[in-house]
Structure 1
Amino acid sequence: MPVVSVRRLEIPDVMLFEFRVFEDNRGFFTELWKRGEYLALGLPYDFVQVNLSYSHPNVVRGLHYQLKPSEQGKLVYVVKGRVFDVAVDVRRGSPWFGRWVGVDLRPGQALWVPPGFAHGFQAIEESWFLYLVTKEYDQARERCINWSDPVIGVKWPNPTGAILSNRDKACPPLSQAEYNFEYTVSQ
């Protein structure tokens, strides 16, 4: 079994997976996605698009999400490097609405960010980042929340050195953001 452990974070719909890595003198091998195994672990999704990004140290990407009916769940991996990965709950009626969880994500780990969450990360070092997503990118439904919204209060590793795109700098705070997700207990 490639997944060694699953840990639900402070917002229990967000899960951290640790993988078994098989290493030898050639390098290493690990299975990142095995549908049956993830189904058994409570992740009832299939992925329709895979994205890869490269980021210099201190780059912040996010906080991004897509509105329904194009809402995306994301299983994210650091292929090389290290990132501080963040999920913010934007589901109306959720006991965790507006709260965030973050993990220091390294190779051999993956974070599940369910639909209804804004997602972002800050590269701690030069990083290659892989996203498996449950729905295709839909520019018309893409939205974002300001990465430094004080109401959310994400504790970024290096906020003063953050490097952002102009688009991410212009994202509104949560109080002005558009979202259309509802919390349900079955999530």
Structure 2
Amino acid sequence: MTIEKTPIQDLVIINPSVFNDERGYFFEAYNQAKFNQNGISYNFIQDNQSFSKRGVIRGLHLQINPFAQAKLVRVLEGEILDVAVDIRKDSPTFGQHFSVVLSAENKKQLMIPHGFAHGFSVLSETASVLYKVDQVYDKESERGIRYDDPALNIDWQLDSAEVIVSEKDLVLPYFKDIDWEF
């Protein structure tokens, strides 16, 4: 396993060591000891899975303290553009985002620490996404930012005519209007 740093501190890409042979492949998707050796120390308590069709954008979602969630995101089937927005006000990259293509083929994972809004767009015909979290869902702590916020200017790598967004995500505030502290 290799850990790839991104331009945003604490946000890293996990590249597993994949062992291929005539039967198929094997890799460790998560190994707590190896994560800890690399300074990634979370107590993941729940796995969540979603299935979506091409054009779906889920996000940008987060939970505020004390229910903030770290997430380890990977794709079981298909391909997504995974996006994390730094909302840590004391961070030099506050308000900046990072995106990476995660797919069943490349087997990359994105480790998103506390202090980020998260979302993804589905680039393949369908995609199954699995992510570990270190905190339970708490409706009262749930927050979000509009996926199409002009200040963030995220390229979701989709044609606007094919974008599918939930009603819930369409009423999220813009980044400039968020009134909560992380």
TM-score calculated relative to the size of structure 2: 0.94
Q: How far, CA to CA, are the matches of 1:176 and 1:115 in structure 2?
A: 20
**Runs of 5+ in structure 1 lacking a partner?**
182-187
Q: Which residue in 2 is equivalent to 1:164?
A: 165
> How many Å apart are 1:147 and its aligned residue?
0.4
Q: CA offsets, 1:97-143, max 9 Å, x none? A: 11100001123110011111000000101111001001011111110
Letter in structure 1 aligned against 2:119: G
CA contact (8 A) 1:143 1:178 kept: no
Q: Which residue in 1 is equivalent to 2:102?
A: 105
Q: Which residue in 1 is equivalent to 2:45?
A: 48
> How many Å apart are 1:159 and its aligned residue?
4.7
Structural mapping, 1:15-94, within 5 Å: 15-94=12-91
TM-score calculated relative to the size of structure 1: 0.91
Q: How far, CA to CA, are the matches of 1:179 and 1:100 in structure 2?
A: 18
Letter in structure 2 aligned against 1:124: L
Secondary structure, aligned partner of 1:91: coil
Q: How far, CA to CA, are the matches of 2:147 and 2:49 in structure 1?
A: 21
Q: How far, CA to CA, are the matches of 2:7 and 2:112 in structure 1?
A: 13
> How many Å apart are 1:25 and its aligned residue?
3.2
Q: Which residue in 2 is equivalent to 1:138?
A: 138
Q: How far, CA to CA, are the matches of 2:179 and 2:25 in structure 1?
A: 43
Q: How far, CA to CA, are the matches of 1:94 and 1:45 in structure 2?
A: 20
- Once superposed, which parts of structure 1, at least 4 consecutive aligned residues long, lie more than 4 Å away? none
CA-atom RMSD in angstroms? 1.1
> How many Å apart are 1:163 and its aligned residue?
0.6
Moved more, 16-25 or 165-174: 16-25
Taking structure 1 as reference, are residues 132 and 178 closer, same or farther at Cα in structure 2, changes over 3 Å only? Answer: farther
Q: How far, CA to CA, are the matches of 1:106 and 1:143 in structure 2?
A: 26
> How many Å apart are 1:87 and its aligned residue?
0.3
Secondary structure, aligned partner of 2:34: helix
